[in-house]
Amino acid sequence: YKKPNSVILFDEIEKAHPDIYNIMLQILDEGRLTDSTGKLIDFTHTIILLTSNLGCPKNYDLYLKNKNFLSKSDLKEIEKNIKININNYFKPELLNRLTNILIFNPLNINNLLFIFNKFINELKIKLYLNKLNIIIHINKELKYFLVKLMYNPLYGARPLKRILELIFDQSISDLLLTYNKHYFIKNKYILYYYLNKYYTLHGNIYVLYP
């Protein structure tokens, strides 16, 4: 009410009470809403976003039973099924008041590689800001192995994030618990992570004294 230029997000709108849709019809149609105290709230300068998972998990499970990669034809079929679920669940009068419906594709291998690099870069920045001379180096084989191991369009980036935290955050935390923080300010450490021919993860530590 006090900030008319706002963005309002209704996350997983399909889980809301059915009465909320009647309220939304008034907001989307008239651009305003009268609350229980009789106060008129203006929504004409408000962007309203709705998110939903309708049709997603079931459809991804269907396509991932015999493969770990979604082709363009798979994505088109999934999009078609999601639209059917949306049309069957929401009333036409609500759908007709929406400006657009966007369907997001699941993350692919390249997306996860980007997230991997982003995680490592943020970790490096965190070490730098804490004045810790710990350098992280990861060979390409290990990077691709972890990304492919954790790839699942159904769960997105969360499995990858968990294993990255387990490997890299944990190893750095163990170092900090073993040695005093000032030790890493005075000396430089290189953490080198690699994958051997037996697909076993190794982490070597090199100390560069000043």
pLDDT at 9: 92
CA 45 to chain CA centroid, nearest Å: 28
Give the residue-averaged pLDDT of 48-67. 74
Residues of the chain with CATH 3.40.50.300: 6-97
The overall average pLDDT reported for the chain is: 81
Question: Which tens digits make up the pLDDT trace of 127-174?
Answer: 888 888 888 888 888 888 888 888 877 788 888 889 888 888 887 888
What gap in Å lies between CA 29 and CA 45, rounded to an integer? 13
**For the domain bounded by 6-97, which CATH number is listed?**
3.40.50.300
Question: Which tens digits make up the pLDDT trace of 3-29?
Answer: 778 899 999 999 999 888 888 888 888
What gap in Å lies between CA 79 and CA 66, rounded to an integer? 19
Classify the C-alpha dihedral 85-88-89-94 as positive or negative: positive
| Among the ranges given (30-39, 54-63, 154-163), the one the predictor scored with the smallest mean pLDDT | 54-63
Are 56 and 77 a contacting pair, CB within 8 Å? Answer: no
Residues of the chain with CATH 1.10.8.60: 109-208
Residue with more model confidence, 107 or 197: 107
109-208: what CATH class?
A: mainly alpha
pLDDT at 209: 43
Report the share of the chain in percent with pLDDT over 70.
83
Give the residue-averaged pLDDT of 85-102. 91
Residue with more model confidence, 182 or 126: 126
